[in-house]
A and B are shown apart, each in its own frame.
Chain A
Amino acid sequence: MRSIVSAEDISYTYPQDENQASPAALEHVDIKIEKGEFVAVLGHNGSGKSTFAKHLNAILLPSGGAVYIDNMDTRDQSLLLAIRSRCGMVFQNPDNQLVATVVDEDVAFAPENMGLPPEEIRRRVDACLETVGMTEYRDRAPHMLSGGQKQRIAIAGVLAMEPSILVMDEPTAMLDPSGRREVMSAVLKLNREKGITVVLITHHMDEAAMAQRVIVMSRGKVALEGTPKEVFSKVDEIKSLSLLPPQTVELLWRLDKKGYSLPLDRLSVSECADTLEAFLKAKD
């Protein structure tokens, strides 16, 4: 039995000019994601993390290896719609994902494409707007909403397909801090309450820290993998991949460099404060 998302030894090279050798965007990447998991994929620009995301619902097809979504091969054209409805995708710019001039109708876009009866579409639209907490904005025009609200509408629009996997390609990159919080709490809720498998592509460490598993990519390969605590305590390796660890880890790491020996795997501010407090008390 395969995992719900199973990328098996995939490689991909973007097509380029004939006489120019282009570097591979993905090289022998092997990633399995289980049902209900929340996985964050981290990486520097050009690390291949977005390319990987685009493989999960057949926007890109691997040039080597294979991707299976719920046991369906993404290379099989006849399964395209089934794969895309199983694996929803949210992009970076909320403005460029919304199709209709009214929030309601935008959320209805995917179920309309599925050819569902109007009553079922209505039910899904209501349920999805409720899930992302945007019910009161149902009659608004998308351009009147804030970035965070627009992104939540985009998420609702994807949820309306009732997917079991949600792939998000830097969904908060264009949002202000309050918009980021809105979107992240919606995502966490989906994962915890609805059991939706979430694959979050991001370059924010604090967002990745909320995940159950973190995969760090670099130059088209998986560089590090593990729970957030495991990954982020490898500070030297993270820095060598030109990423910055969460601020709490950075603080403890710097103290360690001064000769103290503190544990590094404290990702939240309160955990970090407790550790420091305990340390100071012990010293007295």
Chain B
Amino acid sequence: MLKDITLGQFFPGKSAIHRLDPRTKIICVMAFVVSIFVSSSFLGYGISFAFLGVCIKISGISPKTVLKSLKPLIFILIFTGILNMLYTPGRELASFWIFTITAEGIRNAVFMILRIVLLIASTSMLTYTTSPIALTDALERLLSPLKKLKVPVHEFAMMMTIALRFIPTLIEETDKIMSAQKARGADFDSGSLMDRAKALVPILVPLFVSAFRRADELATAMECRLYHGGEGRTRLNTTVMTSLDFRAFVLVGLICLASCLSGRVVSF
């Protein structure tokens, strides 16, 4: 049952979006997210939505999957919407008890919801089209200037890689430990919340012990394979930015600019 958990939700493919350098994708998504928070007109959001739609179409990922990524957020969307609607001062439309709904409030609420939807959908597109390992590598390379400030960028990236590598292994191990405990009469599915939390202790303790043992062995194995930190290390797959990446930068830049400035051209 634990094996069903999917990680990073990467959908392999060969589309133009898949082929972009992961660094390009990270920068573009960041620029896009900034632009949707700067933008404050329906025309701007229209442009952003249209662009995102085109990206989804090109990537070949079904729009349904992208919509699914929004599902867990429905509650947050409604909650922010209502809060914005009720707590924005402005021209009063209706009021009851201590609540007042204002025109500005409704506008803010809709904007906020649109922003969150765009934020989640665009970042999901990043993880859908980029493998977790490529993302880690790209982050390491993007953040490498921070090494000069003694930020352990390589070490963080290595930790991420190892974590990604060992998650399935540890999940398998958890399954085994749970079966072993069940075979000896452990009960994980009944009783109060407190009882169930207590039942997890006999799973976590052996899991931690084994994780430490694994860490120790892995460290030795890594040293035996000449690991000595990030210094002087080269990579098998080094991505290079191509003209495709350049075009993506220009396009995303223009779209972001358009959506930010559209509020000045039209007033809605």
Contact = CB atoms under 8 A, between A and B. Distances in A.
Given A102-B133, A109-B225, A113-B227, A121 B236 contact: yes
A118 B240 CA distance: 12
Nearest to B238: A118
A74 B233 CA distance: 23
Interface in A105-147: 105, 108-118, 121-122, 125, 141-143
A91 interface: yes
Interface size class of B (residues with CB under 8 A): 20 to 34
B161 A101 contact: yes
Contacts of B224: 57, 59, 84, 88-89, 158
A16 interface: no
Given A98-B165, A105-B133, A112 B221 contact: no
Q: Which of B220, B224, B228 has the most CB of A within 10 A?
A: B224
A96 B225 CA distance: 13
A88 B227 CA distance: 13
Contacts of A84: 223-226
A105 B236 contact: yes
Contact of A108 (B168, B217, B218, B236): B236
B60 interface: no
A182 B223 CA distance: 26
A157 B236 contact: no
B169 interface: yes
Given A112-B234, A113-B225, A121-B234, A91 B220 contact: yes
Nearest to B136: A101
B162 interface: yes
Interface of A: 57, 59, 81, 84-85, 88-89, 91, 93, 95-102, 104-105, 108-118, 121-122, 125, 141-143, 154, 157-158, 161
